[in-house]
Amino acid sequence: MSRPASIFAEVESALHDASGERRIEVLRRVTDLFVGQAAQFSDEQTHLFDGVLNQLIKHIEERAIVELSARVAPLPNAPAETVRALARHDNIDISGPILTKSSRLSDGDLIEIATTKSQAHLARIAGRNSLTMKVTDVLVDHGDADVANTLAQNSGASFSDTGMAKLVMRSDGDDRLTESLAHRADIPPHHFQNLLAQATDAVRTRLLQSAPPDRQQAITNILSQISAQMASAPVAAARYIEAQRQVNSFSQDTELLRSKVFEFSVKKRTAELIVALSVLSAVPVEAIDRLFSVPNAFGLMALCRSVLLDWQSAWAVIMASAGAAMLQAHTDTLREQYETLSPASAQRLMRFWQTRQKMSQSAGAAAPARRAQ
């Protein structure tokens, strides 16, 4: 089979009369021909191969398609429709090489796959040499912890400010993700500050030890600012009990509850505010208490957006938190983030965050038990 024009007859014969092994042999010969001369083929000839390969992969075993995927993935002019079909395959051994390496996939292809396929597919996309903000926004929204960490470690991934804010929030309780983000050269200062605010003491120590001298001083200064912001006394447990009693009296009226959130925020009635937000969101009081004690506005914004509060109420909530003094200068930026954050995205983010908090608490409770053994 020396010329592209001779492909049709042999493929047609293989599809109608040949055994599975014969079809695999034909696929390999077609692939050999294309890969060996790919740079010389015109668009019209590449389109011809596209049709042939698309027909063959519908009628052969997956082990042969795995080989095809690995061979065409790096080619800049790989047959486009074949590549798209391979990228959407449920078998990650087939789709993986295409998702990681193929330049023939558009942002639209990657976004569609990220919202419809498995976490294994998302992880392969997250490892691409280059990712735009549009794609990373979707991966941050839909990816699990492994996807998030792969993204954070990928120097070729670009992030929107909101996408980075979501990753920072998701790193709360996840030491691996925290350190991956901290080592990114492009993390903005305000996100780095938020990252340190919620980092564990062990991570802070490691970051200080591994940082160059000038960076060490910057980290020390940020930690001093954070310490000053978090110095206020925590809400006493008895205050929560009384706040729960008060809020329960109108907890069935959602609109009234939302209006009370604004009132409690303005009056700095923190216990009642946290309980009201807990009732609205079904997030435990202790989890919301953490959002209030760490000077990172995005977590509170995600919480407020997830329960459909307007910006005026959300800003009042932020100003009632421990980080109010550090956040007042960022009103416009935070409002823009809030308005672009969809309720569905905020709800997903809260679920990711709560899951990580539960895992972190379980790990913390298990450690003393192991030491006691």
Instruction: Give this prediction's pTM.
Output: 0.86
55-94 exposure pattern, b = at least 16 Cβ within 10 A, e = fewer: bbbeebeeebbbbbbebbbebebbbbebbbbbbbbeebeb
Query: What does the pLDDT read at residue 2?
Result: 46
Query: Which structure tokens are listed for 121?
Result: 């597919």
In a domain, 279, yes or no: yes
Q: What are phi and psi of 157, to 5 degrees?
A: -90, 130
C-alpha to C-alpha distances, 241 to 254, 273, 286, nearest whole angstrom:
21, 13, 12
Let me know: does 151 contact 126? Beta carbons within 8 Å. Answer: yes
Domain that holds residue 45: 1-105
Query: Which structure tokens are listed for 253?
Result: 């009226």
CA gyration radius, the chain: 27
For CA atoms 182, 183, 184, 188, the dihedral sign is positive
In a domain, 67, yes or no: yes
Q: What are phi and psi of 58, to 5 degrees?
A: -80, -10
In a domain, 60, yes or no: yes
In a domain, 146, yes or no: no
The Cα diameter of the chain in Å comes to 84
Considering 52, 71, 105, which residue would you say is the last residue of a domain? 105
User: Which residues, given as ranges, of the chain have pLDDT below 50?
Assistant: 1-2, 369-373
For CA atoms 336, 338, 342, 348, the dihedral sign is positive
Query: What does the pLDDT read at residue 1?
Result: 41
In a domain, 162, yes or no: no
Query: What does the pLDDT read at residue 373?
Result: 46
* 251 C-beta neighbours (distance < 10 Å), count: 17
In a domain, 315, yes or no: yes
In a domain, 201, yes or no: no
What is the C-alpha end-to-end distance of the chain, expressed in Å? Answer: 71
Query: What does the pLDDT read at residue 108?
Result: 98
Considering 105, 135, 159, which residue would you say is the last residue of a domain? 105
In a domain, 183, yes or no: no
Query: What does the pLDDT read at residue 11?
Result: 60
Our CA dihedral for 322, 327, 332, 335, rounded to 10 degrees, sits at -20
| Domain total in the chain | 2
